[in-house]
């Protein structure tokens, strides 16, 4: 499974340059999207923009950054969920010069009714330059009859369904907003010199902000004339914060939806360990995502944690095609034969999606002498697609969508397979669990967030809750 997008915005309160700060924020959000990156900044000579394919350090060299000097800006790191990844027109931030002045937007999430909104806008004569869902925000702002930007955003939020956290420039003002369900995170903070907003708190901390706050779902923030104003625009009776942000996407050093991500993962691992019934010699994490859960699992079971698999940090992204899964796993994961030989392993990973990587890892461990491999996932198996900005494949490609536990053991060639039941995951979140989306684990969607035409593709899908270990 791939990551999706990271967004950031910054204002120099005393007119200080934000280009390097924005670079640092995007660099900290690199894990959320590695296909392309971009920035739009406003300086004394007007708006500047630079967008290109590649990682942040490839897109912005010092010479490029020096052309982006300014006191206000937004940026984006992209992994495409809507719109192809090969057109420069799809690289964000997207921008337009209009009767409202200069506007630019960077978006994290996926809209579920963007096709019908785009059709309406095209019928009104708007010409789209990208094939992303994000561009509609610019034109919805332009057609809005609201007599202030706040009213325009309020109108936009009442029309758009699905997941969106946005940073939005309108001339010299920075706006930022989060959908009423709160699917994607968005945090803001400031120090004496800068105001900053970003997808994750880890980016703010790395940029030197000592305190930060999450923007509430359905809210709009604006930083204008060195003052922050927050408007609560739309309230939804049911929040749908993406639990996968905590399981996999967010950085372990982030606080997302009020939870420290590392501690959350470690607790999921501990609860998984409490369910263990097998005789196991060592706990081996799948690096790096399975590490916090392995620590919790090891603490709960008393079984020693060993790094039986190391991760190579030198494998390039474009060097190997995703279809060459086996080659990719073998380039990336390095088994330590002397640690695993003759041992019964609990192999801990964060989640089960396609299962193809897990299968390759089991094979690799057996080839290197593991006596038994017991696969353990620190979340429930994914059985249904996501419409909200995560690249989860179709139901057919999801390993657990149509297999019993016994069939999973056979397909993955493991000695046993276990995972965290949904009820335990909800228990870890405690009362806060009612504010989360679990749709990819249950196949049950909040009808307010997904229009009927999106659902019809999956009408023959019968949700089932897998609640066994």
List interacting residues with ligand SF4 (CB under 6 A). 183, 242-244, 386, 388, 390, 437-440
Burial 115-131 (b: 16+ CB within 10 A, else e): eebbeebeeeebeeebe
Between 301 and 439, CB nearer to ligand SF4: 439
Closest residue by Cα to residue 81 from 8, 137, 132: 132
Shortest Å, Cβ 424 to ligand SF4: 16
Q: 335: which residues sit within 8 A by CB, 6+ positions away?
A: 308, 309, 364, 365, 368
Q: Shortest gap between Cβ of 270 and ligand SF4 (angstroms)?
A: 21
Q: Which residue's CB is nearer to ligand SF4, number 53 or number 438?
A: 438
User: Which of 5, 268, 386, 437 does the annotation list as catalytic?
Assistant: 5
Of 106 and 392, the one with the shorter C-beta distance to ligand SF4 is 392
DSSP 8-class letter at 248: I
Longest dimension (CA), the chain: 72
By the 8 A CB rule, do 130 and 87 touch? yes
Residue 5 annotated in active site: yes
Residue closer to ligand SF4 by CB (options 95, 387) is: 387
Distance from the first to the final alpha carbon of the chain: 23
CA distance 409 to 374: 9
Q: Residue 183: what are its φ and ψ, rounded to 5°?
A: -55, -50
Shortest CB 235 distance to ligand SF4, Å: 19
Q: The sheet that has 101-108: what strands, in order across it?
A: 94-98, 101-108, 165-170, 173-178, 219-224, 227-232
The CA distances from residue 264 to 6, 405, 440, 467, in Å, are: 21, 25, 19, 20
Q: How far is CA 247 from CA 251, 266, 362, in A?
A: 10, 10, 22
Cis peptide before 93 (omega within 30 of 0): yes
The distance of closest approach from Cβ of residue 178 to ligand SF4 in the complex, given in angstroms and rounded to an integer, is 14
Q: How far is the CB of 35 from ligand SF4 (least distance, A)?
A: 19
Provide, rounded to whole angstroms, the least separation between the CB of residue 135 and ligand SF4.
22
Catalytically active residues are: 5
């Amino acid at each position: 499974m791939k990551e999706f997008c990271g967004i950031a915005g910054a204002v120099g309160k005393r007119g200080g340059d934000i280009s390097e700060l924005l670079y640092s924020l995007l660099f900290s959000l690199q894990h959320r999207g590695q296909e392309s990156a971009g920035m739009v900044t406003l300086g004394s000579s007007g708006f500047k923009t630079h967008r290109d394919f590649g990682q942040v350090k490839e897109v912005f060299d010092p010479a490029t950054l020096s052309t982006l000097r300014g006191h206000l800006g937004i940026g984006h790191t992209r992994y495409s969920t809507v719109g192809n990844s090969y057109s420069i027109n799809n690289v964000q931030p997207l921008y337009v010069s209009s009767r409202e002045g200069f506007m630019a937007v960077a978006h994290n999430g996926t809209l579920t009714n963007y096709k019908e909104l785009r059709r309406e806008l095209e019928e009104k004569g708007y010409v789209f330059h990208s094939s992303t869902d994000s561009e509609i925000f610019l034109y919805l702002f332009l057609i809005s009859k609201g007599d202030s930007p706040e009213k325009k955003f309020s109108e936009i939020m009442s029309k758009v369904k699905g997941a969106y956290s946005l940073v939005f420039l309108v001339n010299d003002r920075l706006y930022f907003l989060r959908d009423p369900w709160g699917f994607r995170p968005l945090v803001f903070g400031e120090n004496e010199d800068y105001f900053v907003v970003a997808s994750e708190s880890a980016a703010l901390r790395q940029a030197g902000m000592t305190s930060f706050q999450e923007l509430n779902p359905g809210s709009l923030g604006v930083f204008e004339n060195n003052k922050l104003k927050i408007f609560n625009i739309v309230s939804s009776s049911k929040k749908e914060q993406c639990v996968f942000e905590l399981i996999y996407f967010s950085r372990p050093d982030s606080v997302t939806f009020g939870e420290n991500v590392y501690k959350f993962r470690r607790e999921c691992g501990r609860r998984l360990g409490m369910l263990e019934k097998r005789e196991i010699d060592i706990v081996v994490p799948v690096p790096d995502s399975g590490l916090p859960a392995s620590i919790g699992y090891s603490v709960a079971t008393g079984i020693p944690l060993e790094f039986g698999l190391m991760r190579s940090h030198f494998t390039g992204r474009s060097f190997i095609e995703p279809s060459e899964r086996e080659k990719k796993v073998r380039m990336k994961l390095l088994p330590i034969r002397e640690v695993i030989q003759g041992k019964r392993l609990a192999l801990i990973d964060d989640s089960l999606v396609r299962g193809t990587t897990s299968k390759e890892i089991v094979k690799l461990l057996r080839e290197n002498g593991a006596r038994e491999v017991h696969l353990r996932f620190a979340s429930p198996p994914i059985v249904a697609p996501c419409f909200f900005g995560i690249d989860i494949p179709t139901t057919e490609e999801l390993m657990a969508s149509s297999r019993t536990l016994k069939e999973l053991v056979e397909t993955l060639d493991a000695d046993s397979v276990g995972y965290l039941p949904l009820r335990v995951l909800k228990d870890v979140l405690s009362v806060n669990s009612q504010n989360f989306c679990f749709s990819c684990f249950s196949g049950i969607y909040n009808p307010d967030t997904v229009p009927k035409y999106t659902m019809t593709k999956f009408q023959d899908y019968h949700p089932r809750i897998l609640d066994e270990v």
